[in-house]
Homo-oligomer: A and B are copies of this chain.
Amino acid sequence: MEVDQVVPLPRLPRVAVCGGTHGNELSGVYLVRELLKLQREVMKKKQEEDSKPALVLLVLSNPRAMQQCRRYVDTDLNRCFTHATLNGPLSDMAPYEIIRARELNALLGPKGSPEAVDLVCDLHNTTANMGLCFIGYSDCDWICLHIFRHLQREMPDTPMRFLHFDVSNKESYSLDSVGKHGFAMEIGPQPHGVVRSNIYTAMKVGVQHMLDWVRLFNSGNVFEGGFVDVFTMVKHIDYPRDSETRNITAAIHPCLQDRDFCLLHPEDPLFQTFSGETVRYKGTEPLYPFFINECAYYEKGIALSLARKRRVTIPAIRVQTEQEQQANEQGFASEEEE
């Protein structure tokens, strides 16, 4: 790949912004509600003017969980978007979230099909001190990486990282995987069930810049190549637990708490037990901790996750011309026929 060469990529006519995939992560819930209100006003005005409304799909993903202000009702919705779960047999007793995942897949997908929306941005919060993170399954999705770099430039005061969950051995499972491109926008720290103005505003500004970028891209703007630091998830670490009760016996060490993305070295303090002892990091490689003390991960057995950082080169990109697009679609059609 030559950085100088401008890579033409398909247009992104249909973008979805989703909130409330976890019903107690409130920034996305209130932001999508606010955007829906604005969209209704704009559409009313545009109808009067008889012009075409903007195609941003605004989705409240898990209304039942939102109503109860819980992460989920029966099972974690954001783990339900594998092909097996979306397409397997469905009993009458199916968990609410599996039914809802299929509704969302019908609305935004089907996952992996040419009908899927072009980009899904799924809004999340964390209790960890992670700033604004993009979380994606690919470290070579130029669309997501360019959007990320755009936000980094436009929001220089917001700590921002690109997190890559490598699922090359298994399948992507989250809502954003339903789109042709997709990422979770994860912002913290914010307690679940609480909305903090600063976090809400960072998300609102981030979504605005994301939509601005898509408009610029679709209208033919050329985005220059460059570099993005990508954090690739390596492993999770669980809390020390009582062997009988499985209750945790320690909390994140005060020296590690809130220090997401600060390099953790072998023998650095990791936990402080409830009786006061320090438990140290026994790994051999310095790695970057993140999702430190995320509330929802106690039940998943994750006290923190660790990542390796590397610099990814991204090419210059622009939207395909109509000719390129047609050639591309014919290629897709002939692939389909095979």
Which residues of A are interface residues toward B (Cβ below 8 A)? 30-31, 33-34, 69, 127, 189, 191-198, 200-201, 247-248, 251-254, 257, 272, 274-275, 293, 295-296, 298-299
Provide the main secondary structure of the chain A interface.
Answer: loop
Kindly identify which residue among B200, B201, B272, B295 contacts A193, using a CB–CB cutoff of 8 Å: B295
B272 & A191 in contact (Cβ 8 Å cutoff): no
B196 & A251 in contact (Cβ 8 Å cutoff): yes
Give min CB distance, A197 to chain B, whole Å: 4
Give min CB distance, A230 to chain B, whole Å: 28
A251 & B197 in contact (Cβ 8 Å cutoff): yes
| Bound Cα distance from A31 to B195, whole angstroms | 28
B31 & A274 in contact (Cβ 8 Å cutoff): yes
| Bound Cα distance from A33 to B192, whole angstroms | 25
Total identical chains: 2
A272 & B197 in contact (Cβ 8 Å cutoff): yes
| Bound Cα distance from A254 to B200, whole angstroms | 10
B275 & A34 in contact (Cβ 8 Å cutoff): yes
Known contacts A127-B193, A194-B298; 9 further A-B pairs (Cβ under 8 A): A34-B275, A69-B298, A189-B191, A193-B296, A197-B251, A197-B253, A197-B272, A198-B254, A201-B272
| Bound Cα distance from A251 to B194, whole angstroms | 9
Which 6 residue pairs of A and B lie closest in terms of their CB atoms, listed nearest first? A191-B191, A193-B295, A34-B274, A197-B251, A197-B254, A127-B191
| Bound Cα distance from A191 to B247, whole angstroms | 19
Q: A33 — nearest CB in chain B belongs to which residue?
A: B247
A194 & B257 in contact (Cβ 8 Å cutoff): no
Chain B residues positioned under 8 Å from A31 (CB to CB): 274
Give min CB distance, A270 to chain B, whole Å: 11
Chain B residues positioned under 8 Å from A272 (CB to CB): 197, 201
Chain B residues positioned under 8 Å from A200 (CB to CB): 251, 274
Q: A126 — nearest CB in chain B belongs to which residue?
A: B191
- Indicate the member of A189, A195, A200, A248 with the most B CB atoms within 10 Å: A195
| Bound Cα distance from A54 to B192, whole angstroms | 39
A30 & B274 in contact (Cβ 8 Å cutoff): yes
A127 & B194 in contact (Cβ 8 Å cutoff): yes
| Bound Cα distance from A253 to B195, whole angstroms | 11
Q: A31-B274, A275-B34 are in contact. Are A257 and B198 (CB under 8 A)?
A: yes
Q: A253 — nearest CB in chain B belongs to which residue?
A: B197
B192 & A252 in contact (Cβ 8 Å cutoff): no
